């Protein structure tokens, strides 16, 4: 039995080295996501209801007043398949968007802030809250 245990440890060690050499990190940095409500149309301010999920986590329904925010954090899956999406609702509207997607976001900073506007979400610099150039998106399912 000791021989089996020793061989298992050796195989796991070699697998870890192989994954690291291939550029696959087993330990990934914690990510932070903040969603801020900027829903305003013709001077009317809207409350935002959102519901965020991943394949494994349901973060529940949240209600955010105008200019309010909500945030969550997580550690991405080591195989690179992490996706968090949110449904966004306000009077007469329901939209959805991927607030974190490994394919798009893995090489970016660890903090993501989204400002929610009626035409779509914009990625905003976490620290100075300015819109990051070229990062306003259409809602999922809507043509560019």
Q: What is the pLDDT of residues 106-129, one digit of tens each?
A: 777 789 999 999 999 999 988 887
- Alpha-carbon distance 62 to 70, whole Å? 8
pLDDT of residue 90: 97
Q: Output helix, strand, coil percentages for the chain, rounded to the nearest 5.
A: 15, 45, 40
Q: Which pLDDT band holds residue 50 (cuts at 50, 70, 90)?
A: very high
Whose tokens are 């999922």? That residue is 140
Please measure the distance between the N-terminal and C-terminal CA atoms of the chain and give it in whole angstroms.
61
Summarize pLDDT for 34-48 with one digit per residue, the tens: 999 999 999 999 999
- Does 22 score more than 50 pLDDT? no
What are the residues whose beta carbons fall under 8 Å from the beta carbon of 43, sequence distance 6 or more? none
- Token pair listed for 100: 């974190």
* Strand 131-136 to 111-117 pairing: unpaired
* Contact indicator for 72, 59 with CB cutoff of 8 Å: yes
Closest CA relative to residue 44, chosen from 112, 93, 103, 96: 93
User: Which strand ranges, in their side-by-side order, compose the sheet holding 58-64?
Assistant: 58-64, 48-53, 83-90, 93-101
Q: If you classify domain 29-130 with CATH, what class do you get?
A: mainly beta
Judge whether residue 23 has pLDDT over 50. Answer: no
CA-based nearest residue to 30, from 74, 61, 69 = 74
84's tokens: 């968090």
Distance CA 138, CA 120 (A): 5
């Amino acid at each position: 039995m000791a021989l089996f245990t020793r061989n298992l440890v050796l195989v796991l060690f070699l697998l870890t080295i192989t994954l690291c050499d291939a550029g696959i990190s087993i330990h990934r940095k914690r990510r932070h996501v903040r969603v801020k409500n900027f829903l305003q149309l013709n001077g009317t301010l809207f409350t935002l209801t959102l519901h965020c999920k991943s394949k494994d986590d349901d973060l529940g329904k949240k209600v955010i007043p105008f200019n309010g925010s909500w945030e969550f954090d997580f550690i991405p899956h080591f195989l690179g398949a992490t996706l968090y999406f949110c449904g966004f609702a306000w009077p007469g509207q329901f939209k959805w968007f991927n607030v974190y997607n490994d394919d798009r976001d893995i090489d970016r900073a660890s903090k993501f802030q989204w400002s929610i506007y009626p035409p779509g979400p914009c990625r905003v610099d976490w620290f100075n809250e300015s819109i990051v150039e070229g990062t306003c998106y259409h809602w999922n399912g809507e043509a560019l």
